[in-house]
Amino acid sequence: MIPLCVPEIKGNEWKYIKECLDTNWVSSVGSYVDKFERDFAKFVGSKSAVVTVNGTSALHLALEVLGIGEGDEVIVPSMTFIAPVNAVKYVGAEPVFVDICRDTFVMDADKIEELITPKTKAILPVHIYGNIVDMDKVMEIANKYNLYVIEDATESLGSIYKGKHTGTIGHIGCFSFNGNKLITTGAGGMLVTNDEQLGKKAKFLSTQSKVTLENKGFYHTDIGFNFRMPNILAAMGCAQLENIEEYIKIKRENASFYYELLKGIENITLPIEKSQTRNVFWLYSILIEDGFPVSRDELIKIMFEEGIETRPFFIPVHTMPPYKNCRCGDLSITDEVSLKGINLPSSVSLKKEEIKKICEVLRNI
Ligand SMILES: Cc1ncc(COP(=O)(O)O)c(C=O)c1O
Protein backbone atom coordinates (compact mmCIF):
# COMPACT_ATOMS: atom_id res chain seq x y z
CA MET A 1 0.00 0.00 0.00
CA ILE A 2 1.29 3.49 -0.76
CA PRO A 3 0.38 5.23 2.52
CA LEU A 4 -1.28 8.64 2.72
CA CYS A 5 1.34 10.28 4.91
CA VAL A 6 3.81 8.58 7.24
CA PRO A 7 6.54 10.05 9.43
CA GLU A 8 10.15 10.36 8.35
CA ILE A 9 12.52 9.26 11.11
CA LYS A 10 16.10 9.27 9.93
CA GLY A 11 18.06 11.80 11.95
CA ASN A 12 19.12 12.11 15.59
CA GLU A 13 15.82 10.82 17.04
CA TRP A 14 17.33 7.62 18.49
CA LYS A 15 20.38 9.42 19.83
CA TYR A 16 18.49 12.22 21.61
CA ILE A 17 15.81 9.91 23.03
CA LYS A 18 18.50 7.50 24.26
CA GLU A 19 20.19 10.38 26.02
CA CYS A 20 16.92 11.10 27.89
CA LEU A 21 16.64 7.43 28.88
CA ASP A 22 20.29 7.21 29.92
CA THR A 23 20.08 10.32 32.10
CA ASN A 24 16.59 9.74 33.56
CA TRP A 25 15.31 13.05 32.11
CA VAL A 26 12.19 11.44 30.68
CA SER A 27 9.43 13.55 32.14
CA SER A 28 8.08 17.05 31.65
CA VAL A 29 11.14 19.04 32.60
CA GLY A 30 14.47 18.83 30.80
CA SER A 31 16.85 20.48 28.43
CA TYR A 32 15.10 19.18 25.29
CA VAL A 33 11.84 20.84 26.33
CA ASP A 34 13.59 24.21 26.44
CA LYS A 35 15.62 23.51 23.32
CA PHE A 36 12.60 22.44 21.29
CA GLU A 37 10.79 25.67 22.24
CA ARG A 38 13.85 27.79 21.36
CA ASP A 39 14.57 25.98 18.08
CA PHE A 40 10.94 26.03 16.99
CA ALA A 41 10.57 29.75 17.76
CA LYS A 42 13.72 30.39 15.72
CA PHE A 43 12.46 28.29 12.82
CA VAL A 44 9.07 30.02 12.50
CA GLY A 45 10.40 33.43 13.56
CA SER A 46 8.31 34.00 16.69
CA LYS A 47 9.40 35.62 19.95
CA SER A 48 7.92 32.88 22.18
CA ALA A 49 7.06 29.23 21.82
CA VAL A 50 5.39 27.01 24.40
CA VAL A 51 5.41 23.29 23.83
CA THR A 52 2.28 21.27 24.68
CA VAL A 53 1.20 17.68 24.89
CA ASN A 54 -0.75 17.88 21.62
CA GLY A 55 -2.11 20.38 19.11
CA THR A 56 -5.60 20.39 20.61
CA SER A 57 -4.23 21.53 23.98
CA ALA A 58 -2.24 24.29 22.25
CA LEU A 59 -5.52 25.58 20.77
CA HIS A 60 -7.34 25.26 24.10
CA LEU A 61 -4.48 27.11 25.79
CA ALA A 62 -4.51 29.89 23.17
CA LEU A 63 -8.19 30.60 23.84
CA GLU A 64 -7.63 30.52 27.63
CA VAL A 65 -4.65 32.86 27.41
CA LEU A 66 -6.69 35.40 25.47
CA GLY A 67 -9.49 35.20 28.02
CA ILE A 68 -12.09 33.91 25.58
CA GLY A 69 -15.00 32.25 27.35
CA GLU A 70 -18.71 32.04 27.97
CA GLY A 71 -20.83 34.42 25.91
CA ASP A 72 -18.08 34.93 23.32
CA GLU A 73 -18.15 33.89 19.68
CA VAL A 74 -15.21 32.74 17.57
CA ILE A 75 -15.34 32.67 13.78
CA VAL A 76 -13.99 29.37 12.43
CA PRO A 77 -14.16 27.38 9.19
CA SER A 78 -16.36 24.29 9.09
CA MET A 79 -13.91 22.68 6.64
CA THR A 80 -11.36 21.62 9.23
CA PHE A 81 -10.28 18.83 11.51
CA ILE A 82 -12.59 19.19 14.52
CA ALA A 83 -9.94 20.13 17.13
CA PRO A 84 -10.03 23.95 16.76
CA VAL A 85 -13.84 23.95 16.92
CA ASN A 86 -13.87 21.73 20.00
CA ALA A 87 -11.32 24.03 21.64
CA VAL A 88 -13.76 26.94 21.26
CA LYS A 89 -16.36 24.88 23.13
CA TYR A 90 -13.85 23.80 25.82
CA VAL A 91 -13.62 27.43 26.98
CA GLY A 92 -17.40 27.87 26.87
CA ALA A 93 -17.49 30.04 23.72
CA GLU A 94 -19.52 29.43 20.57
CA PRO A 95 -18.11 28.68 17.11
CA VAL A 96 -19.59 30.60 14.17
CA PHE A 97 -18.87 28.93 10.83
CA VAL A 98 -17.62 30.79 7.79
CA ASP A 99 -17.33 29.44 4.24
CA ILE A 100 -14.10 28.66 2.38
CA CYS A 101 -12.47 29.73 -0.89
CA ARG A 102 -12.93 27.20 -3.67
CA ASP A 103 -9.33 27.44 -4.88
CA THR A 104 -7.49 27.13 -1.54
CA PHE A 105 -10.07 25.28 0.60
CA VAL A 106 -9.40 27.64 3.53
CA MET A 107 -11.50 30.29 5.29
CA ASP A 108 -12.82 32.95 2.89
CA ALA A 109 -11.72 36.19 4.54
CA ASP A 110 -14.23 38.17 2.46
CA LYS A 111 -17.08 36.39 4.23
CA ILE A 112 -15.95 37.03 7.81
CA GLU A 113 -17.22 40.56 8.33
CA GLU A 114 -20.88 39.70 7.75
CA LEU A 115 -20.73 37.24 10.68
CA ILE A 116 -19.34 39.67 13.26
CA THR A 117 -21.59 40.65 16.18
CA PRO A 118 -20.83 42.36 19.51
CA LYS A 119 -20.18 38.84 20.89
CA THR A 120 -17.37 38.11 18.42
CA LYS A 121 -14.02 37.95 20.21
CA ALA A 122 -11.73 36.14 17.81
CA ILE A 123 -11.14 34.77 14.33
CA LEU A 124 -9.58 31.30 14.09
CA PRO A 125 -8.19 30.65 10.59
CA VAL A 126 -7.15 27.04 9.91
CA HIS A 127 -4.57 26.69 7.13
CA ILE A 128 -5.57 23.23 5.89
CA TYR A 129 -3.46 20.88 3.74
CA GLY A 130 -0.66 23.49 3.52
CA ASN A 131 -2.86 26.19 1.96
CA ILE A 132 -2.87 29.65 3.47
CA VAL A 133 -5.69 31.96 4.53
CA ASP A 134 -5.58 35.55 3.21
CA MET A 135 -4.04 36.83 6.43
CA ASP A 136 -3.80 40.51 5.39
CA LYS A 137 -7.55 40.60 5.08
CA VAL A 138 -8.06 38.68 8.34
CA MET A 139 -5.76 41.05 10.25
CA GLU A 140 -7.44 44.10 8.71
CA ILE A 141 -10.84 42.90 9.94
CA ALA A 142 -9.42 41.94 13.33
CA ASN A 143 -7.92 45.41 13.77
CA LYS A 144 -11.12 47.11 12.66
CA TYR A 145 -13.27 45.20 15.18
CA ASN A 146 -10.64 44.73 17.89
CA LEU A 147 -10.62 40.93 17.63
CA TYR A 148 -7.97 38.37 18.43
CA VAL A 149 -6.60 36.08 15.73
CA ILE A 150 -5.54 32.52 16.59
CA GLU A 151 -4.05 30.69 13.63
CA ASP A 152 -4.24 26.92 13.50
CA ALA A 153 -1.11 26.35 11.45
CA THR A 154 -0.89 22.63 12.19
CA GLU A 155 -1.21 21.59 8.55
CA SER A 156 0.79 24.49 7.15
CA LEU A 157 4.03 24.21 9.10
CA GLY A 158 6.59 25.44 6.56
CA SER A 159 4.08 27.50 4.54
CA ILE A 160 4.92 31.19 4.24
CA TYR A 161 2.66 34.19 3.71
CA LYS A 162 4.36 37.40 2.56
CA GLY A 163 7.65 36.50 4.22
CA LYS A 164 6.15 35.25 7.48
CA HIS A 165 5.58 31.68 8.61
CA THR A 166 1.92 30.78 9.06
CA GLY A 167 1.16 30.82 12.77
CA THR A 168 3.21 33.98 13.38
CA ILE A 169 0.87 36.51 11.77
CA GLY A 170 -2.04 36.54 14.24
CA HIS A 171 -1.80 37.03 18.01
CA ILE A 172 -1.18 33.32 18.62
CA GLY A 173 -0.37 30.39 16.35
CA CYS A 174 -0.83 26.69 17.12
CA PHE A 175 0.79 23.57 15.72
CA SER A 176 0.47 19.79 16.17
CA PHE A 177 3.20 17.18 15.91
CA ASN A 178 0.84 14.26 15.58
CA GLY A 179 2.14 11.28 13.59
CA ASN A 180 1.32 12.39 10.06
CA LYS A 181 2.38 16.04 10.40
CA LEU A 182 5.43 17.53 8.65
CA ILE A 183 7.45 16.86 11.79
CA THR A 184 6.25 14.57 14.53
CA THR A 185 6.88 13.81 18.18
CA GLY A 186 4.35 10.98 18.23
CA ALA A 187 1.98 13.38 19.96
CA GLY A 188 2.71 17.00 20.67
CA GLY A 189 1.89 20.60 20.00
CA MET A 190 3.26 24.13 20.13
CA LEU A 191 1.83 27.57 20.80
CA VAL A 192 3.76 30.51 19.34
CA THR A 193 3.33 34.25 19.78
CA ASN A 194 5.21 37.48 19.23
CA ASP A 195 3.72 38.92 22.41
CA GLU A 196 6.12 37.83 25.14
CA GLN A 197 3.56 38.51 27.89
CA LEU A 198 1.11 36.15 26.20
CA GLY A 199 3.93 33.61 25.85
CA LYS A 200 4.73 33.80 29.56
CA LYS A 201 1.07 33.44 30.46
CA ALA A 202 0.74 30.42 28.16
CA LYS A 203 3.75 28.71 29.76
CA PHE A 204 2.39 29.44 33.23
CA LEU A 205 -1.11 28.13 32.51
CA SER A 206 0.21 25.07 30.68
CA THR A 207 2.35 24.03 33.67
CA GLN A 208 -0.39 24.03 36.35
CA SER A 209 0.04 27.78 37.08
CA LYS A 210 2.64 26.80 39.59
CA VAL A 211 4.53 29.27 41.76
CA THR A 212 7.36 27.68 43.75
CA LEU A 213 7.70 29.40 47.11
CA GLU A 214 11.06 29.22 48.87
CA ASN A 215 11.28 26.18 51.18
CA LYS A 216 7.57 25.54 50.73
CA GLY A 217 5.45 23.35 48.46
CA PHE A 218 3.70 24.29 45.30
CA TYR A 219 1.39 27.28 45.25
CA HIS A 220 -1.11 27.90 42.45
CA THR A 221 -2.50 31.34 41.68
CA ASP A 222 -4.73 30.19 38.81
CA ILE A 223 -6.51 27.06 37.65
CA GLY A 224 -3.82 25.79 35.30
CA PHE A 225 -3.49 22.77 33.06
CA ASN A 226 -1.06 19.93 32.71
CA PHE A 227 -0.36 20.46 29.01
CA ARG A 228 3.37 19.74 29.38
CA MET A 229 5.28 17.73 26.80
CA PRO A 230 7.69 15.13 28.20
CA ASN A 231 11.40 15.72 27.58
CA ILE A 232 11.59 12.40 25.75
CA LEU A 233 9.15 13.65 23.09
CA ALA A 234 10.76 17.09 22.92
CA ALA A 235 14.03 15.26 22.17
CA MET A 236 12.36 13.70 19.16
CA GLY A 237 11.04 17.13 18.15
CA CYS A 238 14.55 18.62 18.23
CA ALA A 239 15.81 15.85 15.96
CA GLN A 240 12.88 16.22 13.57
CA LEU A 241 13.34 19.96 13.35
CA GLU A 242 16.95 19.49 12.20
CA ASN A 243 15.61 18.02 8.94
CA ILE A 244 12.57 20.20 8.39
CA GLU A 245 14.01 22.26 5.52
CA GLU A 246 14.75 19.07 3.59
CA TYR A 247 11.22 17.77 4.24
CA ILE A 248 9.71 21.03 2.97
CA LYS A 249 11.84 20.87 -0.17
CA ILE A 250 10.74 17.29 -0.86
CA LYS A 251 7.04 18.06 -0.24
CA ARG A 252 7.22 20.94 -2.70
CA GLU A 253 9.12 18.90 -5.31
CA ASN A 254 6.53 16.13 -5.01
CA ALA A 255 3.74 18.67 -5.48
CA SER A 256 5.43 19.97 -8.66
CA PHE A 257 5.75 16.40 -9.93
CA TYR A 258 2.07 15.72 -9.24
CA TYR A 259 1.23 18.96 -11.06
CA GLU A 260 3.29 18.01 -14.13
CA LEU A 261 1.62 14.60 -14.39
CA LEU A 262 -1.94 15.69 -13.62
CA LYS A 263 -2.22 19.01 -15.45
CA GLY A 264 -4.39 18.79 -18.49
CA ILE A 265 -6.61 15.99 -17.17
CA GLU A 266 -10.12 17.33 -17.55
CA ASN A 267 -12.38 17.80 -14.54
CA ILE A 268 -9.68 17.55 -11.93
CA THR A 269 -8.86 20.76 -10.04
CA LEU A 270 -5.31 20.95 -8.74
CA PRO A 271 -4.09 22.88 -5.68
CA ILE A 272 -2.51 26.27 -6.22
CA GLU A 273 0.17 28.46 -4.76
CA LYS A 274 -0.88 32.11 -4.57
CA SER A 275 1.59 34.89 -5.31
CA GLN A 276 3.71 36.02 -2.35
CA THR A 277 3.11 32.69 -0.60
CA ARG A 278 4.94 29.40 -0.22
CA ASN A 279 2.60 26.42 0.01
CA VAL A 280 4.20 23.43 1.77
CA PHE A 281 1.57 21.12 0.14
CA TRP A 282 1.42 19.06 3.35
CA LEU A 283 -1.25 16.85 1.76
CA TYR A 284 -1.53 17.10 -2.03
CA SER A 285 -5.25 17.78 -2.43
CA ILE A 286 -7.34 17.76 -5.58
CA LEU A 287 -11.02 18.16 -6.47
CA ILE A 288 -12.84 15.57 -8.58
CA GLU A 289 -15.27 17.75 -10.52
CA ASP A 290 -18.71 16.73 -11.81
CA GLY A 291 -17.59 15.81 -15.36
CA PHE A 292 -14.94 13.31 -14.21
CA PRO A 293 -15.91 9.72 -15.22
CA VAL A 294 -16.10 8.52 -11.60
CA SER A 295 -17.13 10.22 -8.38
CA ARG A 296 -14.69 11.10 -5.60
CA ASP A 297 -15.95 8.18 -3.52
CA GLU A 298 -15.62 5.72 -6.41
CA LEU A 299 -12.11 7.01 -6.98
CA ILE A 300 -11.17 6.31 -3.36
CA LYS A 301 -12.27 2.67 -3.87
CA ILE A 302 -10.39 2.32 -7.16
CA MET A 303 -7.25 3.79 -5.61
CA PHE A 304 -7.54 1.39 -2.67
CA GLU A 305 -7.80 -1.57 -5.04
CA GLU A 306 -4.64 -0.30 -6.74
CA GLY A 307 -2.83 -0.23 -3.39
CA ILE A 308 -3.03 3.52 -2.91
CA GLU A 309 -4.28 5.04 0.33
CA THR A 310 -6.18 8.31 -0.11
CA ARG A 311 -8.47 10.33 2.14
CA PRO A 312 -11.61 12.32 1.45
CA PHE A 313 -11.63 15.99 2.52
CA PHE A 314 -12.98 16.81 5.97
CA ILE A 315 -16.69 16.29 6.55
CA PRO A 316 -17.90 19.81 7.43
CA VAL A 317 -18.05 20.26 11.19
CA HIS A 318 -21.40 22.09 11.00
CA THR A 319 -23.04 18.84 9.86
CA MET A 320 -21.95 16.92 12.97
CA PRO A 321 -24.28 16.42 15.97
CA PRO A 322 -22.59 18.77 18.48
CA TYR A 323 -22.44 21.64 15.97
CA LYS A 324 -25.63 21.33 13.92
CA ASN A 325 -27.30 24.34 15.51
CA CYS A 326 -24.38 26.77 15.45
CA ARG A 327 -24.62 30.14 13.79
CA CYS A 328 -23.07 30.21 10.32
CA GLY A 329 -22.92 31.99 7.00
CA ASP A 330 -23.72 30.40 3.66
CA LEU A 331 -21.55 27.26 3.61
CA SER A 332 -22.28 26.08 0.07
CA ILE A 333 -18.61 25.98 -1.02
CA THR A 334 -17.68 24.04 2.12
CA ASP A 335 -20.46 21.53 1.41
CA GLU A 336 -19.49 21.17 -2.25
CA VAL A 337 -15.72 20.92 -1.77
CA SER A 338 -16.10 18.43 1.05
CA LEU A 339 -17.76 16.00 -1.38
CA LYS A 340 -15.24 16.52 -4.18
CA GLY A 341 -11.91 16.78 -2.38
CA ILE A 342 -9.40 13.97 -2.02
CA ASN A 343 -5.94 13.93 -0.45
CA LEU A 344 -3.33 11.96 -2.38
CA PRO A 345 -0.30 10.22 -0.81
CA SER A 346 2.12 12.86 0.43
CA SER A 347 4.76 11.27 2.64
CA VAL A 348 8.25 12.76 2.52
CA SER A 349 9.42 9.24 1.61
CA LEU A 350 7.04 9.03 -1.38
CA LYS A 351 8.96 7.90 -4.46
CA LYS A 352 8.70 9.42 -7.94
CA GLU A 353 7.59 6.00 -9.32
CA GLU A 354 4.78 5.94 -6.76
CA ILE A 355 3.58 9.40 -7.83
CA LYS A 356 3.70 8.17 -11.44
CA LYS A 357 1.58 5.13 -10.48
CA ILE A 358 -1.00 7.30 -8.67
CA CYS A 359 -1.27 9.73 -11.59
CA GLU A 360 -1.45 6.84 -14.05
CA VAL A 361 -4.58 5.55 -12.26
CA LEU A 362 -6.21 8.96 -12.61
CA ARG A 363 -5.14 9.37 -16.22
CA ASN A 364 -6.44 5.89 -17.18
CA ILE A 365 -9.86 6.69 -15.70
C1 LIG B 1 -5.89 21.48 11.63
C2 LIG B 1 -5.63 20.66 12.86
N3 LIG B 1 -5.73 21.25 14.06
C4 LIG B 1 -5.51 20.55 15.18
C5 LIG B 1 -5.19 19.22 15.16
C6 LIG B 1 -5.08 18.50 16.46
O7 LIG B 1 -3.82 18.17 16.80
P8 LIG B 1 -3.55 16.97 17.85
O9 LIG B 1 -3.99 15.71 17.21
O10 LIG B 1 -2.08 17.04 18.07
O11 LIG B 1 -4.31 17.30 19.10
C12 LIG B 1 -5.05 18.57 13.91
C13 LIG B 1 -4.67 17.15 13.74
O14 LIG B 1 -4.17 16.40 14.42
C15 LIG B 1 -5.28 19.30 12.74
O16 LIG B 1 -5.19 18.73 11.54
Q: Could you write out the DSSP letters of every residue in 239-303? A: HHHHTHHHHHHHHHHHHHHHHHHHTT-TTEEPP---TTEE---SSEEEEE-TTSSS-HHHHHHHH
- Which amino acid residue places its CA nearest to atom 16 of ligand 1? 81
Sequence-separated (6 or more) residues with CB below 8 Å from residue 139? 149, 169, 170
Average of pLDDT values for 61-70? 98
Spatial distance between the Cα atoms of 90 and 88, rounded to a whole number of angstroms? 6
CA of 360 to the centre of ligand 1 (A): 32
CA of 59 to the centre of ligand 1 (A): 9
Ligand 1 atom closest to residue 189's alpha carbon, by position in its atom list = 10
SS3 19: helix
Strand bridging mode 48-52 / 268-269? unpaired
Fold of 244-364: Aspartate Aminotransferase, domain 1 (3.90.1150)
Percentages helix, strand, coil for the chain (3-state, rounded to 5) are 40, 20, 40
Let me know: does 148 contact 170? Beta carbons within 8 Å.
yes
Ligand 1 atom closest to residue 126's alpha carbon, by position in its atom list = 1
Residues near ligand 1 (Cβ within 6 A): 54-56, 80-81, 83-84, 126, 152, 154-155, 176, 178, 189
Confidence of residue 217 (pLDDT cuts 50, 70, 90): confident
pLDDT (0 to 100) of residue 214: 80
Checking if the pLDDT of 363 tops 90, the result is yes
CA of 227 to the centre of ligand 1 (A): 15
Average of pLDDT values for 62-80? 98
Ligand 1 atom closest to residue 56's alpha carbon, by position in its atom list = 11
Ligand 1 atom closest to residue 54's alpha carbon, by position in its atom list = 10
Could you write out the DSSP letters of every residue in 168-235?
SSSSEEEEE-BTTSSS--BS-EEEEES-HHHHHHHHHHHBTTEEE-TTS-EEESS---B-PPPHHHHH
CA of 81 to the centre of ligand 1 (A): 7
Average of pLDDT values for 221-238? 97
Probe residue for ligand 1, chosen from 4, 56, 59, 229 as the CB with the greatest number of ligand atoms within 8 Å: 56
Q: Do domains 13-242 and 244-364 have the same CATH topology?
A: no
Cβ neighbours of 36 (radius 10 Å): 28
Average of pLDDT values for 310-322? 98
Cβ neighbours of 60 (radius 10 Å): 27
Spatial distance between the Cα atoms of 165 and 153, rounded to a whole number of angstroms? 9
Average of pLDDT values for 50-59? 98
CA of 55 to the centre of ligand 1 (A): 5
Let me know: does 256 contact 263? Beta carbons within 8 Å.
no
13-242: CATH architecture: 3-Layer(aba) Sandwich (3.40)
Let me know: does 119 contact 147? Beta carbons within 8 Å.
no
Residue ranges per domain, the chain? 13-242, 244-364
CA of 342 to the centre of ligand 1 (A): 18
Spatial distance between the Cα atoms of 327 and 201, rounded to a whole number of angstroms? 31
- Which amino acid residue places its CA nearest to atom 14 of ligand 1? 178
CA of 323 to the centre of ligand 1 (A): 18
Residue 252 phi/psi, 5-degree rounding, is -70, -35
Confidence of residue 242 (pLDDT cuts 50, 70, 90): very high
pLDDT (0 to 100) of residue 215: 77
Instruction: Select the more confidently predicted residue: 215 or 29.
Output: 29
CA of 293 to the centre of ligand 1 (A): 33
Ligand 1 atom closest to residue 187's alpha carbon, by position in its atom list = 10
Checking if the pLDDT of 360 tops 90, the result is yes
